[in-house]
Chain A
Amino acid sequence: MPIDYIPRTRELYSRYEPYRWVVNDRVPWTPLSRPIARCRLALMSSGGILYRDQPRFHREDASYRRIPKSARRDELSIWHFGYPTADAARDPNCVFPLERLREFERDGIIGELCDPAFSFMGGIYSARKVREELAPRIAAELKAAHADAFYLVPA
């Protein structure tokens, strides 16, 4: 049985006011303009990935990092305290599958992998901050990069 994260979050943070999860009814929709094999696909992870000497994330940090598509595994590190990071630190592809998507590009499974990929530190308490600060900046990045499709991997 999948974990019910909403009640378990309430237990985990029982000394705080219960977190008010966002509940949506309406769902936005944009159809894919072409098959994935011809798409420019952009990648983002909320796993707190840093490239080389990029500065770390802070609490309630709505900033993001640009990770070059060519980044090697030994150039990536993790800065996040909201999930057990040992496995992702050893192999970032668990939450940030850059190497796998480079292979998919090479093999023609995707048209092209957008450069750069993106990462931030998930667990931002303020949904408003995510919606009004982080998300529009990412949308603008993707527009500028002419991304056809966006693949989001949380942690």
Chain B
Amino acid sequence: MGLIARVVEEAGIPTLTMTSALDITQAVKPPRAVFLNFPLGHQTGKPDDPELQRSIIRDALNAFESIDAPGTIVELPYVWDPADNGWEERDYRPGFMPRQPGREEADRIEAERRARFARG
């Protein structure tokens, strides 16, 4: 994402990039970034928790306005699970990614989706 932010910023539009991968963001250096230490797939919060999502995005937009040094990464204070940070050890290891369907299965899933929306 940081790569795209840099190109868009260069084209004259200011950007803010969310991240949960601090080391990658420190290397890529998007113009403005907000780091949330949550598992991948939750960069704007937990599912069905609109209050938390609003709060995270609100903080991010505040950072959008306040960051004045290129390459700044603002760290948000939210904690995924105050009782257990075991996900940091478990995540992004073999078996972490969802199984990728083969071509036939992917075609079938896509055909089902088409049919569902064709019906309205």
Binding site for B on A (CB under 8 A): 1-6, 8-9, 11-12, 21-25, 27-33, 35-36, 42, 44, 46-47, 50, 52-53, 55-56, 75, 77, 81-85, 87-88, 90-91, 93-97, 99-101, 103-104, 109-110, 122, 127, 130-131, 134-136, 138-139, 142-143, 147-155
19 extra A-B contacts, CB within 8 A, seeds A21-B28, A75-B117: A2-B20, A2-B35, A3-B92, A6-B24, A12-B93, A22-B28, A27-B71, A53-B118, A82-B97, A87-B46, A94-B45, A95-B43, A131-B7, A142-B13, A148-B14, A149-B15, A151-B64, A154-B1, A155-B41
Given B64, B71, B92, B110, which contacts A5 in the complex, CB threshold below 8 Å? Answer: B92
Interface range, B side: 35 or more
Inter-chain contact B16/A149, CB cutoff 8 Å: yes
**Given A8-B93, A87-B42, A87-B46, also A101-B57 (CB < 8 A):** yes
| Pairwise interchain contact A138-B8, C-beta atoms closer than 8 A | yes
Give Cα A134–Cα B4 distance, bound, in whole angstroms. 8
B14 touches A30 (CB 8 A): yes
Q: How close is A37's CB to chain B, nearest CB, in angstroms?
A: 9
> Is there contact, CB below 8 Å, between A32 and B64?
yes
A-B contact pairs, 25 of them (CB 8 A): A2-B21, A2-B35, A22-B3, A22-B27, A24-B27, A30-B13, A36-B64, A55-B110, A81-B97, A83-B97, A83-B98, A87-B41, A91-B48, A93-B47, A96-B44, A99-B50, A101-B57, A104-B54, A104-B57, A130-B4, A131-B7, A135-B3, A139-B11, A149-B15, A154-B17
